[in-house]
Amino acid sequence: MLAELPLVDHPDLLVGRGYSDDAGVIRVTEDLALIQTVDFFTPIVDDPRTFGRIAAANSLSDVYAMGGKPLTAMNIVCFPRRSLPLTVLRDVLLGGLDVMRQADTLLVGGHSIEDPELKYGLSLTGTVHPDRVVTNAGARIGDRLILTKPLGTGVLATAIKGGMAPPEVEAEAVRWMTTLNRDAAEVMQEIGVNACTDITGFGLLGHALEMANASGVRLELRASRIPLIPRVRDLASVGMIPAGSFANRKFCERAVTVEDGVDPLLVDLLADAQTSGGLLIAVNQDRAETLHEALERRNVPHPEIGRVVAGAGTSRIRVLP
Amino acid sequence: MAERKTVDCRGLACPQPVIHTKDALQGATFPIVVIVDNEGSCTNVSRFAESQGARVSVAQRDDEFHLTIEPDRGIPAAETSLAAGADPDANSMVVYVSSEGMGFGDEDLGATLMAAFLDTLSHFKGELSHAIFVNAAAKLVVKGSPVLEQVQQLEQLGVQVLVCGTCLDHFGISEKLAVGSVSNMYAIIETLSKAGRIIRP
């Protein structure tokens, strides 16, 4: 739908809406560019403080995905004053603050409105050197693809809603959703990578497709190498895949070729809509080993899930067993 | 006429159709019909019912899916193999690895022997169709494993490497899988049952 709006162009606009990237980036001076992004959503867990933490980590992720450093934040709140006590709002905001503190990001204000349903998130400003912006458009043939968090939060959120997720599974999902992509972003800048995007609502397939389109390349994904949060596969096989993930799969269908031998359940999981997912990084194959080592040192998962290959036409993603 | 219960899940978002189906199937001995209004719910309800050993047939009418679910009568209904191409022929050899080391007695020796075993296996590449890793052997196919190279070599030679997903989860090393594909008990049993010969280190 956004495609119908006219695009804005400016010589200092380094990343704008035309790129389906994670955030907008504008050059302010020769050595400073600002990253701007906003994200907010409805609760996916019952505990207000945990929800606040997840929403903040998810919003921050867009800055990290551009290789940036978050600077300031504003709260965005929709709150049903009539149906929920204000202590809930306080706890959500405290959760957000916990994570902002962890990210060395300053809360400078915010805006709230009354709404039938609770929603929370952040509007963020971050910084990056104009020459070191990591977009989703730089993937080159031969690059290795690395994913820094396991998939499955969409399935787990659905299972939590349905009362099918044991507490330890919920705790594991929360752990991943509140893990900042900060270390991964810093390592990316340290080593130098070609492209990056964070995995959120469109799932790995959707965001990989955006990267393939923006970079004018084709991505090959090895389904068996793609990490899943424990129990996700079991929960998916008893029908805990959310509607959004099916919609993602449908949306990507024409551009994705699935080879024989790939479990259809796994393809659904590759399309699983993620909340606060990891970074998908395309790195030059000569630097891949250095990146692996640096991520390992910071305890960031770094499975190599595929590579960038040549190819034109409608099929932009190839999923191998 | 056979007794039949209908569960109308139109207009409900996931996971509700599955939860309603679950409740309806509880203790059911006769078929139930579940109506959903989108393909995703249809897939989810089918997967759930099949996971419970039920048989599912789907009739699509316009935008509605009518699923007839026959509850389990004691026969597991897993119908499709989840393994990547698990179809060994009668002459094939499958290697079944269920421990980190080879043999018992001395752990260090066991590890050395396992490396030698996997290394030597490559000489049998023509016969070897699958290598299955279960229990502690799952640790052999993750990043940092001392025998990773050997297993990768087997995979490059065309051997299908199947790794028990439950085992990877159990040890918390699912993210570190470095070779092979994640598999499940059904696929593992299917592979073993079709094998010409099964060998173990």
Q: In chain A, how many domains are there?
A: 2
pLDDT confidence bin for A2, thresholds 50/70/90: low
Of A159, A225, A265, the CB nearest to B177: A225
Q: Mark whether A113 and A165 lie in a shared domain.
A: no
> In sequence order, what DSSP letters do the residues of A171-221 get, joined into one string?
HHHHHHHTS-SHHHHHHHHHH--SEEEE--TTHHHHHHHHHHHHHT-EEEE
How far apart, in whole angstroms, are the C-alpha atoms of residue A24 and residue A62?
Answer: 10
Among A251, A253, A263, the strongest candidate for a mutation testing the B interface, having the largest count of B CBs within 10 A, is A263
Contact B14 A242 (CB under 8 A): yes
Q: Please indicate if any CB of chain B lies within 8 Å of the CB of A161.
A: yes
Residues A178, A308 within the same domain:
yes
Q: Is A242 on the interface with B (CB under 8 A)?
A: yes
The last residue of one of the domains, among A131, A154, A185, is A131
Give chain B positions within 8 Å (CB) of A150.
Answer: 174-175
Q: Other C-beta atoms within 10 Å of B115: how many?
A: 18
Chain A contact present for B27, CB below 8 A? no
Residue of chain A with shortest Cα separation from B20? A162
Instruction: Compute the mean pLDDT over every residue in chain B, rounded to the nearest whole number.
Output: 84
Average pLDDT over residues A132-152: 96
What integer pLDDT is reported at residue B78 of this predicted model? 38
Looking at residue B191, its pLDDT comes to: 84
* A142 and A90 share one domain: no
Tell me: do A76 and A192 sit in the same domain: no
Which of the four pLDDT bands, split at 50, 70 and 90, describes residue A252? Answer: very high
> How far is residue A257 from each of residues A220, A281, B18, B86, B132, measured CA to CA in Å?
10, 21, 29, 21, 28
Q: Which of B15, B17, B182 minimises the CB distance to A224?
A: B182
Please, which pLDDT band fits residue B73 given cuts at 50, 70 and 90?
A: low
CB A125 within 8 A of CB A28: no
Least confident of A54-68, A246-260, A307-321, B174-188: B174-188
pLDDT > 90 in chain B, percent: 41
Give contacts of B18 with chain A, Cβ < 8 Å. 162, 238-240
Query: What residue has token string 């949060």?
Result: A229
Q: What is the ipTM of this complex?
A: 0.82
Which residues of chain B have a CB within 8 Å of the CB of A176? none
Confidence (pLDDT) at B72: 74
Minimum mean pLDDT range among A4-13, A164-173, A264-273, B87-96: B87-96
| Chain B contacts in chain A segment 289-308 (CB below 8 A) | 301, 303
The answer to whether the Cβ–Cβ distance between B44 and A241 falls below 8 Å is yes
Quote the pLDDT of residue A62: 94
Same domain, residue pair A60 and A162: no
Q: Which residues in chain B touch residue A233, judged by CB atoms under 8 angstroms apart?
A: 165, 182, 184
From A292, A32, A28, select the one nearest A184 (Cα to Cα). Answer: A292
Q: Give chain B positions within 8 Å (CB) of A250.
A: 39
Weakest mean pLDDT among A6-10, B26-30, B151-155? A6-10
More confident residue, B71 or A102: A102
Percent of chain B with pLDDT over 70: 89
Domain boundary pick from A131, A155, A176 = A131
- State the CATH number of the domain containing residue A241: 3.90.650.10
3-state helix, strand, coil in chain A (%, to 5): 40, 25, 35
Indicate if A174 and A31 belong to the same structural domain.
no
Q: Compare B75 and A313 and report the one with higher pLDDT.
A: A313
Residue B74 has pLDDT above 60, yes or no: no
- What chain B holds in terms of domains, given with CATH numbers, is 5-70 (3.30.110.40), 93-199 (3.40.1260.10)
Q: Which residues of A touch B43 (CB under 8 A)?
A: 239, 241, 246, 268
Q: Which of A210-219, B69-78, B108-117 has the lowest mean pLDDT?
A: B69-78
- Over residues A286-302, the pLDDT tens digits come to 999 999 999 999 999 99
Contacts A–B by Cβ distance under 8 A:
95
Residue A151 and residue A120 share a domain: no
Contact A236 B47 (CB under 8 A): yes
Give the model's pLDDT for residue A18.
66
Residues 40-69 of B with CB under 8 A from A: 40-41, 43-48, 51
Whether pLDDT at B1 is above 90: no
Among chain B residues, CA nearest to A306: B178
DSSP single-letter state for residue A86 = H
Residue B165, chain A, CB below 8 Å: the answer is yes
Question: Among A80-89, A229-238, A300-309, B118-127, whose mean pLDDT is lowest?
Answer: B118-127
Q: Is A218 on the interface with B (CB under 8 A)?
A: no
Phi, psi values for residue A260, rounded to 5°: -60, 145
Look at residues A88, A12, A74 and name the one whose alpha carbon lies nearest to residue A37: A74
Q: Which domain holds residue A94?
A: 2-131
Distances (CA, A) of B148 to A59, A150, B137, B144, B178: 38, 21, 12, 7, 8
**Top-confidence residue, A151 or A15:** A151
Task: Please indicate whether, in this complex, the C-beta atoms of A246 and B46 are within 8 angstroms of each other.
Answer: no
AA identity, residue A317:
I
Cβ-Cβ contacts under 8 Å, B41 against chain A: 243
Residues A80 and A162 in one domain: no
Using pLDDT thresholds of 50, 70 and 90, give the confidence band for residue B84.
very low
- Do A180 and A275 lie in one domain? The reply is yes
Cα–Cα distance for residue pair B69/B75, rounded to 1 Å: 14
Kindly state whether residues A41 and A161 are assigned to the same domain: no
Do A33 and A148 fall into the same domain? no
Taking only the tens place, the pLDDT of each residue in A161-220 is 888 888 899 999 999 999 999 999 999 999 999 999 999 999 999 999 999 999 999 999
Give the chain A residue whose CA is nearest to the CA of B185. A234
Question: Are A139 and A89 part of one and the same domain?
Answer: no
The model's confidence at residue B81, banded by pLDDT at 50, 70 and 90, is very low
What CATH number has the domain bearing residue A39? 3.30.1330.10
Decide if pLDDT at A244 tops 60. Answer: yes
Do B177 and A227 lie within an 8 Å CB cutoff?
yes
The mean pLDDT of A256-274, rounded to a whole number, is 95
Nearest to A233 by CA among B168, B158, B97, B148: B168
Residue B15 preceded by cis peptide, ω within 30: yes
Last residue of a domain, one of A131, A165, A197: A131
